[in-house]
Amino acid sequence: MTLDPVASLEYLNDPEAIEAGQKLEFKDYAVYVTGARQLLNPAAKYREERIHFILPSLPADDPSQDLDASMSMPIFPATHHPTGRAPLRPSGSFEWPWPSYVSAFIKTIVRCANVVTVDPKQCGLDFDGQVQFVRYRGEDRDIQRERKERRQRSPQPSLSEVHVADSVPCSAEPAANSPSTGVALKEQTPSPVVLDAVADETGHGSSVQNDPEEEAVVADLLALLLQHEAGEDVPAVKFTHDLSRIKEIRDPRGFFEEVHKLTEIAQQSKLRAAAKKTTAAENDAARYDEKTARLLRGHRVSRAVSRAKAFLRRFLCLSTSSHHDN
């Protein structure tokens, strides 16, 4: 996966912003795509995807998010894991060569062109591997939730205890190149809509008749889902199944740094656009004032001319009267 600066910034209609984005360097990142987040809208230009970053090592602990390194999944040929979890085993025509990891929490939402891919899938998880991923993800989410609930129930430390705790150095020693488990959560919070299919529960031989009004509501909801458009502020990326392009598994923090640079370019573009609107409004106001002043001057001149004509008429009338009297 690689950031696409042109697609990310095109909504601004600002050639200067696009040119600035094209000058930046964007790297390739290995990701696991769990599937589309919404029902497909064929008319949409872009669609959103939830992606999980493939990590070069175990993620660092992140107590602020109630996460630790064990809340991750090894990807074969990686076999080491703090809790002894069996690794996920990718399969396909491309043999996955990198000992790596994936976390349910180091993820984000991106958008990509809503087109059918032309390059065949080379590597991924089969059905059993997907079930294994979903099971690990559920376990880790349960652990995080339990820790959060336990922390919220525990008494809050006093102010003096906080000062003492702040003075004690942290004893955790995460690997220098380990990505933080909180990076993705802090950079971009994903939408709560989750359409991952984990189970299919259907009834057989049901005699319940459908309510026409209920069917209409469902149809309206389905139409709304189909009309979904990917947000313009969601980073646009390009996907490829050609994993031979990957030379190393990169730290995902680099991706969010790239997104931050594009965000700064977009903000500068919006400031320029706002300044142009302000200047245009000021120019319009100046032109309006000038036209108003000309109209007022014309009105005054017209009144003066009218008064002069009236005076002349009165003067001529008086002169004529005086001549007749004589």
> Does residue 299 lie within any of the structural domains?
no
pLDDT at 171: 35
pLDDT at 321: 60
> Does residue 32 lie within any of the structural domains?
yes
> Does residue 94 lie within any of the structural domains?
yes
| Number of separate domains in the chain | 1
The Cβ of residue 156 has, within 10 Å, a number of other Cβ atoms equal to 9
> Does residue 284 lie within any of the structural domains?
no
CA distance 311 to 306: 9
pLDDT at 209: 60
pLDDT at 163: 46
CA distance 237 to 110: 7
> Does residue 314 lie within any of the structural domains?
no
pTM of the model: 0.67
> Does residue 292 lie within any of the structural domains?
no
> Does residue 184 lie within any of the structural domains?
yes
pLDDT at 84: 95
DSSP secondary structure string for all residues of 239-287: --S-GGG-SSPPPTHHHHHHHHHHHHHHHHHHHHHHHHHHHHHHHHHHH
CA distance 196 to 52: 14
Domain that holds residue 54: 2-153+177-197+219-274
Q: What is the mean pLDDT of each run of 10 residues along the chain (326 residues)?
A: 96 95 96 76 85 96 95 96 96 93 96 82 93 96 95 70 42 42 42 38 48 72 62 92 90 96 95 87 74 74 72 67 58
